[in-house]
């Protein structure tokens, strides 16, 4: 199939390449910070979300150490206005984890929403990683 077809409900049935192209035009979301300043966030890619969920699953079994979920998501999702990442996740996640929650929370909330994650999903990931064997 090379051209979109219309389904019975009037919506276009996308081709593989049209579906993949949907992700190319997702603009970063601006987040104004308390006290001034602005950052941008983009949603996690499917690969980044899988990596995050794997990391926290490993921590829940005692095989790994879980970083702050907020710091992890903010480090992965913060970007410039064009969508280019501004943090190297490994270098900045610990520093972000030690930031005041008042500054990190609005960025985390925007990144969570941009990634299509619900508050319940984040809570479940946190709960599972906290129940890791000591």
How many independent structural domains does the chain possess? 1
Q: Looking at per-residue confidence, does 68 or 82 come out higher? A: 82
What's the CATH number where 107 sits?
Answer: 3.30.2220
Q: How confident is the model at residue 130 (pLDDT cuts 50, 70, 90)?
A: low
Domain assignment of residue 47, given as a range: 27-130
Task: Tell me whether residue 80 is in a domain.
Answer: yes
Q: 8-54: per-residue pLDDT in tens?
A: 667 888 899 988 888 777 899 999 998 889 999 999 989 988 888 88
6-43 as b/e, with b when 16 or more CB fall inside 10 Å? eeeeeeeeeeeeeeeeeeeeeebbebeeeeeeebbbbb
Task: Tell me whether residue 43 is in a domain.
Answer: yes
Task: Tell me whether residue 20 is in a domain.
Answer: no
pTM over 0.85: no
């Amino acid at each position: 199939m090379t051209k979109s077809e219309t389904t019975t409900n009037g919506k276009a049935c996308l081709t593989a390449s049209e579906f993949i192209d949907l992700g190319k035009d997702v603009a970063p979301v601006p987040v104004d910070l308390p006290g001034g300043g602005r950052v941008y966030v983009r949603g996690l890619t499917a690969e980044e979300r899988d990596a995050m969920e794997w990391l926290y699953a490993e921590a829940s079994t005692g095989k790994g150490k879980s970083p702050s979920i907020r710091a992890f998501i903010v480090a992965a999702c913060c970007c410039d206005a064009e969508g280019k990442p501004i943090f190297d996740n490994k270098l900045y996640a610990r520093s972000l984890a030690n930031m005041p929650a008042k500054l990190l929370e609005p960025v985390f909330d925007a990144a969570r929403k941009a990634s299509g994650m619900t508050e319940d999903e984040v809570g479940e990931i946190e709960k599972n990683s906290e129940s890791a064997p000591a």
